[in-house]
Amino acid sequence: MKSLQDMVDSKNNTDLIIPKGKLASFFWYEVDEKLLENEKIVMEKYFPIYKLGKLNDGSLFWEGVIKPELIGNTECSLRLVYSNTYPNDA
């Protein structure tokens, strides 16, 4: 098994490819920044009451207050959390 240093030093290494100037990321919104910008545009247009937030684990969410007519004058807080595999599971 190769050591980490051997993999870094190997000129023919294709095991790990990180674009120059980018660190490896596990969050969809860091990998595809344009997708996040599009999500913001759509949410602002169709659901302006929701605000974007981030959980301690790095997951993004939209949160807002709704007033469902079926239960009277009650306000409900709603939080929609992106899964770690978004957009592949959407």
16-65 pLDDT, tens per residue?
Answer: 565 555 555 678 898 889 999 999 999 999 999 999 999 999 999 999 99
Q: How far apart are the first and last CA of the chain?
A: 37
Residue 88 lies in a domain: yes
Instruction: Count up the domains in the chain and report the number.
Output: 1
Q: pTM to 2 decimals?
A: 0.66
For residue 61, what are its two tokens? 């969410």
Residue 33 lies in a domain: no
Q: Where are the beta strands (DSSP E) in the chain?
A: 51-54, 60-66, 76-81
Task: Please give the helix or strand (H or E) that residue 6 lies within, else none.
Answer: helix 4-9
Residue 80 is part of which domain span? 49-90
Distance (Å) of CA 66 to CA 61, 78, 79: 16, 7, 11
Residue 39 lies in a domain: no
